[in-house]
């Protein structure tokens, strides 16, 4: 039998083996719900795809409650402060203290992905790698279906965890799409869900002589620079660049020179930087779909919303979506509760929009605009004041600290017993 002839039946088909899809699949399987995961990349590729690193407190608590955080807890490190550097003035923001002792975990996304795949493998449900979904069918009578190059999956529900350019977002009707506010296509409407910023971020992975002790957000007349911890030998760095600039223009000497300029005054907060291992450009935009569901299709993570990396929320929101959806699907199979499942968008969209708005406010703090040097200097002085307000104990700092570290709200509690089929 050829691959093209394979056909399987399951309860939930998950497209995409990123954090959203892998957490969802693990939690559903632990509750006895049938799941099949397809992933277009090879296992080796997804396990070395370095992206996020800051994991919120509530996300780690959720993973821990489901027995999915053993290696993260053993090998991750904890971070509860960051430095603001404004034109050479260093201010420490102790968000751990301001949030009542809550801290981030630093654990590279690709390691979390590796662990979650190993958990699925142990449960006998290794995702189908190197198998792109090509189409999803969720309309009409009969089971929903995911079509792949070598496999058709009939299922009750499809969950699209395949990122913004995957196949599942295309199955949503046009009215669920975000407004395309990219340059050349007109401005986003007031209250629109798509935003393009007038700058981009160069993103780099670089060798360091020791681990970065905490995140550094540097705001300088020359532009923004960010330094994020990853491992004891590698750091992630960001540099503001003009919107649309090409990676090729950012040679290693130019990158080092700009980092030196923008990080002046950082002192011990930034280790000595070595070889640059990876360079890319993040087009700075956020995009939130108006709906995360269409019939028996649900979108989670970047497939539903893409935020800028300011605030480090993308992966955390992806896991929070997966947690909500896992809970709703388990209720559906255990109690026949379809209403809760249908409420998915209305539960998740407000949190996503709130996060988008707070991340946008944070981005504004890091990007003083102004064409003329005098305007930029005035903007910088205002930014320094706002950073002081956050860094000093008080209501503003405490509110930001709670959001930044992910102190709450808690994600749905684990379901451990096996579900039963819904009563008709
Ligand atoms: P992912 O991780 O993109 O996974 C989607 C998966 O779907 C697969 N796929 C398909 N599979 C089958 N068929 C198809 N047709 C398919 N099309 C695509 C893809 O191969 C892929 O494996 O989405 P998910 O699970 O929603 O997770 C989202 C996060 O990955 C993302 O939001 C974060 O990485 C964002 N982000 C950060 N988030 C944080 O919470 N904290 C951080 O510190 C943080 N830092 C970052 C980041 C993102 C970055 N980049 C590169 C965008 C730093 C960077 C530089």
Ligand 1 centroid–CA 302 distance in Å is 6
In ligand 1, which atom is closest to the CA atom of 109? 34
In the structure, what pLDDT confidence band is assigned to residue 370 with cuts at 50, 70 and 90? confident
Confidence at residue 375, expressed as pLDDT on a 0 to 100 scale: 87
**Which residue minimizes the CA distance to atom 36 of ligand 1?**
52
Confidence at residue 141, expressed as pLDDT on a 0 to 100 scale: 80
Question: pTM for this structure?
Answer: 0.92
Confidence at residue 409, expressed as pLDDT on a 0 to 100 scale: 83
In the structure, what pLDDT confidence band is assigned to residue 172 with cuts at 50, 70 and 90? confident
Q: Provide the phi-psi class of 130: left if phi over 0, else alpha when psi is between -120 and 50, else beta.
A: left
419 pLDDT above the threshold of 80? no
Sheet containing strand 104-106, edge to edge, reads: 54-55, 104-106, 77-79
Ligand 1 centroid–CA 95 distance in Å is 26
* Tokens found for residue 376: 């930029």
Cβ proximity of 396 and 90 under 8 Å: no
Distance CA 368, CA 19 (A): 33
The single residue listed with the structure tokens 């007031």 is: 190
Ligand 1 centroid–CA 51 distance in Å is 7
Q: What is the mean pLDDT of residues 171-199?
A: 62
What is the dihedral sign for C-alpha 61, 62, 65, 67?
negative
The single residue listed with the structure tokens 């404004």 is: 86
Distances from the Cα of 156 to the Cαs of 30, 145, 333, 415, 420, in angstroms?
18, 8, 11, 20, 15
Per-position b or e across 377-395, b if 16+ CB within 10 A of its CB: eebbeebbeebbebbeeee
Ligand 1 centroid–CA 163 distance in Å is 6
Q: Which residues pair with 281 in a beta bridge?
A: 202
181 pLDDT above the threshold of 50? no
Residue of 106, 309, 313, 403 to mutate, ligand 1, most atoms within 8 A of C-beta: 309
Confidence at residue 414, expressed as pLDDT on a 0 to 100 scale: 58
Confidence at residue 267, expressed as pLDDT on a 0 to 100 scale: 86
pLDDT tens-digit readout, 315-340: 999 999 999 999 999 999 999 999 99
421 pLDDT above the threshold of 90? no
180 pLDDT above the threshold of 70? no
Q: Which domains does the chain have, with CATH numbers?
A: 6-80+102-195+286-363 (3.50.50.60), 198-284+370-402 (3.30.9.10)
282 pLDDT above the threshold of 80? yes
Distance CA 237, CA 369 (A): 21
């Amino acid at each position: 039998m050829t691959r093209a002839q394979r056909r399987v039946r399951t309860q939930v088909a998950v497209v995409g083996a990123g954090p959203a899809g892998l957490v969802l699949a693990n939690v559903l399987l632990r509750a006895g719900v049938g799941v099949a995961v397809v992933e277009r990349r090879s296992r080796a590729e997804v396990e070395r795809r370095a992206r996020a690193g800051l994991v919120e407190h509530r996300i780690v608590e959720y993973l821990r409650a489901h027995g999915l955080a053993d290696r993260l807890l053993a090998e991750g490190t904890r971070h509860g402060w960051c430095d603001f550097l404004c034109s050479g003035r260093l201010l420490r923001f102790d968000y751990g203290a301001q949030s009542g002792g809550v801290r981030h975990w630093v654990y590279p996304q690709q390691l979390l992905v590796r662990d979650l795949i190993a958990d699925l493998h142990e449960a006998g449900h290794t995702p189908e790698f190197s198998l792109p979904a090509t189409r999803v069918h969720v309309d009409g009578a009969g089971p929903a279906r995911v079509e792949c190059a070598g496999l058709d999956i009939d299922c009750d529900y499809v969950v699209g965890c395949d990122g913004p350019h995957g196949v599942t977002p295309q199955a949503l009707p046009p009215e669920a799409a975000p407004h395309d506010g990219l340059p050349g296509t007109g401005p986003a409407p007031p209250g629109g869900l798509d935003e393009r910023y007038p700058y981009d971020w160069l993103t780099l992975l670089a060798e360091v002589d020791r681990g970065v002790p905490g995140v550094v957000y540097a705001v300088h007349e020359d532009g923004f620079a960010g330094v994020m911890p990853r491992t004891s030998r590698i750091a992630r760095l960001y540099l503001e660049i003009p919107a649309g600039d090409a990676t090729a223009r950012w040679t290693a000497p130019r990158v080092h020179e700009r980092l030196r300029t923008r990080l002046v005054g950082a002192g011990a907060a930034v280790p000595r930087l070595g070889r640059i291992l990876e360079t890319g450009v993040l087009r700075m935009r956020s995009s939130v779909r108006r709906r995360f569901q269409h019939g028996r299709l649900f979108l989670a993570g970047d497939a539903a919303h893409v935020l800028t990396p300011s605030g480090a929320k993308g992966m955390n929101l992806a896991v929070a979506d997966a947690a909500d959806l896992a809970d709703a699907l388990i209720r559906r199979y255990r109690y026949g509760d379809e209403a809760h499942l249908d409420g998915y968008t209305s539960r998740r969209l407000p949190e996503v929009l709130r996060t988008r708005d707070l991340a946008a406010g944070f981005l504004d703090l890091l990007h003083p605009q102004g064409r003329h040097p005098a305007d930029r200097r005035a903007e910088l002085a205002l930014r320094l004041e706002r950073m002081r307000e956050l860094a000093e104990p008080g209501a503003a700092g405490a509110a930001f600290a709670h959001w930044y570290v992910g102190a709450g709200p808690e994600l749905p509690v684990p379901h451990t017993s096996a579900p039963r089929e819904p009563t008709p």
